[in-house]
Every structure is written in C-alpha cells, then in structure tokens.
Chains A and B, each alone.
Chain A
Amino acid sequence: GQNIDQPTEMTATEGAIVQINCTYQTSGFNGLFWYQQHAGEAPTFLSYNVLDGLEEKGRFSSFLSRSKGYSYLLLKELQMKDSASYLCAVIDSNYQLIWGAGTKLIIKP
C-alpha cells in the first residue's frame, strides 16, 4: 500500500531552526508538496519538489531525495506565527495526491 510518514508533533523555540521529516512509499513518484495549515483553517501551499536537492524560499526550505523516499521541510528563524500543522503530500504514478497525516509544530517563546 501507499504510505507517508511524518512525526505527529514537534516542539521548537522561537528564533530557532526546526526540520520536519517526511518519508514515503508510493506507487511511482511525480512530485512532493508541503502545505501549511493553521488550526481550523485551510491548507496553504509552501513548496513543491520534483528533482533531488534543496529548494529555498525565504525562511523555508524543502529537500528531496527520491532514491531514499525522503523529504524534509526546514524552517529557520522560527516565529510564533509558524505554529501550525505541516502536511506532506506525494503525487503518485496516477497523478493522485497521497497525503501524510501532518506534523503539528508548537513554537514556544
């Protein structure tokens, strides 16, 4: 079966750096997304990776290793507003999105 694994919850300190990991086993691979979702709100797009390597976008970066079935989202200079859930999603060989359950990130002052 298809599966995406992310830690359920992580805690970090304001101003620090945190890395949220995502591992996947899917039937084929056509790209990986990261979305941010604040409590009670809709998910919003953060990043898209289809080739191996690091994509940097301001304070957020996303890394992909297709051979390892692995991605991470790196958040730098954490702010309180970064407290949210972070969702990893993979496009499989049928161009369907497979979602992870999400990682709840708690930022402490």
Chain B
Amino acid sequence: EAQVTQNPRYLITVTGKKLTVTCSQNMNHEYMSWYRQDPGLGLRQIYYSMNVEVTDKGDVPEGYKVSRKEKRNFPLILESPSPNQTSLYFCASSHEPGQGSGELFFGEGSRLTVL
C-alpha cells in the first residue's frame, strides 16, 4: 500500500530535550516536505527536499533541522524543543509538485507537546 509513515504519532516532551520525528514514504517520490499546522494558521511549511541531499527552508524553519540521506526518509529534528513548537506536524511527499497534478500525499500526523 502506498503510504507516508510518521513516528511517533503522539509525543509529550520537555523543553530542551532533543527529539526526532521520522518520516518514510514507499512511493519513490523525489519531493518531501514537513509542515506544522496550528489553529487558525493553516499549514506552514518548515523544510522541503526536492531530492536526496537537497533540502531547503520553508516559511518557518527556525528551531528545526532536516536531512535527506535516502530517497524514502526525511526526518525532522528538534535540537532543543521549546513550548512554541507544540503543534501538529505533517510529513508529505509528491512525485514532483507543480508538474502535472503534483498531488501531495500526507502522513497521518504527529502531535507534539513541549512542556
């Protein structure tokens, strides 16, 4: 089954404790992206990757890191989480957004709470 898998789905952590949210897709997509979603603000892009070893900042990259060492994986790293990073996070992938339909496939989401 074609899917994007994120882990963990739910996490409560404390300020300053490094964490990683994993994302993996099995569709051989070149494009992957991380979003955060907060009430009233919609989806905001954190980082994206057009291909292996190519990553770029989105609209809200501060406090986050990513890596793309393999095509299928795109982990999101919070080196020193702070309470303002409490949010719902989505990983998404696409064959190539903007070309043709460029439909995004989303993971199920990771709800992160930083105390």
Contacts and interface: CB of A to CB of B under 8 A. Distances in A.
Interface of A: 8, 30-31, 33, 35, 40-45, 48, 87, 89, 91, 95-97, 99-102
- Output the residue of A91, A95, A100 with the most chain B CB within 10 A: A95
Interface residues on B, range: 10 to 19
A44 B106 contact: yes
A83 B103 CA distance: 22
Contacts of B99: 95
Contacts of A45: 103-105
Interface SS of B by simple majority: loop
B16 interface: no
Nearest to A100: B42
A48 B103 CA distance: 8
Interface in B65-115: 90, 97-99, 101-109
Given A30-B98, A31-B98, A42-B108, 13 more contacts: A31-B101, A41-B109, A43-B104, A43-B106, A44-B106, A45-B103, A45-B105, A48-B101, A87-B42, A91-B97, A97-B104, A99-B43, A101-B42
A25 to B, nearest CB: 16
Interface of B: 40-45, 90, 97-99, 101-109
A29 B96 CA distance: 16
B98 A91 contact: yes
B23 to A, nearest CB: 12
A87 B44 CA distance: 12
Top 9 A-B pairs, shortest CB-CB distance: A95-B98, A42-B106, A101-B42, A99-B43, A45-B103, A48-B101, A99-B42, A91-B98, A43-B106
